[in-house]
Amino acid sequence: MAERDVKSTAPGLGSVEDTLKAIIGEGDDRGRLPPVHLWNPSYCGDIDMEIRADGSWWHEGVRIGREKLVRLFSTILRKDPDGQIYLVTPYEKIIVHVEDAPFLAVRVDRAGTPGPEQTLAFTTNVGDITLAGPDAALRVETDPETLEPAPYVRVRAALDAKITRPAFYELAEMAVPNPEDGGRTLGVWSQGVFFPIGPAEAP
């Protein structure tokens, strides 16, 4: 234990708890997400609700500007087996047209002991925090034409956050060679899982 404590105070890295506290601050309500998985309202509608690739929310072409309202709606997002994302309440199920991913991961923090057991904590544009690991995969898709990487991290249930460019650059800084392919690819560790993020050298 003592040795671990010493390591976790290495510059820039705090314990997972301290790091989370620093990001979240007071008044955290993440633990109180509505039980969307329990609801099966018979009514389903499409009212031109849209989440654009930049994470902004739009209703009938008008941007929803109020952050708290977007946050509230984001807590009732659900992705169903049909692949469609909905806003779900006990009374209604409303289609959401998602251009890319329903969330944006705008920040990444590294906590714990550096190495395989470190934890990467992603903060979304609506204030969720997701810890990459066995239950929250990080994946990088590559556009076959532009070869542009498109990184995502799981937030909850089947809902992903697109990792923004600045956060992805930070991830790249933390990248280490993949132990399984002799270092041909690079990746990052979080909670004992290695997530490849790209080739070791740009093509």
Partner 1 sequence: MSWTGLDDFLDRAATRLDPPKGPSHLAEGGDLEHVPADLIAAIRPAAVLIGIVPRVEEPSVVLTTRPATMKSHAGQVAFPGGKIDPGDADEVAAALREAEEEVGAPVDRTDVIGRGAPYISGSAYRITPVVGLLPPDFIAKPDPLEVDEAFETPLSFLMDPANHQAREGVWKGRTRRYYEMPHNGYRIWGVTAGIIRALHDQLYRGEGG
Identity of the residue, 94 or 104, whose beta carbon is nearer to partner 1 in the bound complex? 94
Could you tell me the smallest distance in angstroms from the CB atom of residue 81 to partner 1?
21
Applying CB under 8 A, among 4, 30, 59, 184 the residue interacting with partner 1 is 59
Could you tell me the smallest distance in angstroms from the CB atom of residue 42 to partner 1?
14
Could you tell me the smallest distance in angstroms from the CB atom of residue 102 to partner 1?
14
Applying CB under 8 A, among 17, 28, 29, 80 the residue interacting with partner 1 is 29
User: Which range of residues in 68-76, 119-127, 168-176, 191-199 is near partner 1 by CB under 8 A?
Assistant: 68-76
User: Which range of residues in 16-24, 58-66, 150-158, 168-176 is near partner 1 by CB under 8 A?
Assistant: 58-66
SS3 58: strand
Closest CA to 85 of 139, 135, 125, 49: 49
- The answer to whether the CB of 119 falls within 8 A of the CB of 72 is no
Within residues 147-186, the interface with partner 1 by CB under 8 A covers none
On the 0-12 / 13-18 / 19+ scale of CB atoms within 10 A, 193 is middle
Could you tell me the smallest distance in angstroms from the CB atom of residue 34 to partner 1?
4
Alpha carbon 151 to chain centroid, angstroms: 10
62 binds partner 1 (CB under 8 A): yes
Tokens of residue 58, six digits: 């739009």
Listed in sequence order, the residues at least 6 apart from 73 whose beta carbon sits closer than 8 Å to its beta carbon are 57, 64, 87
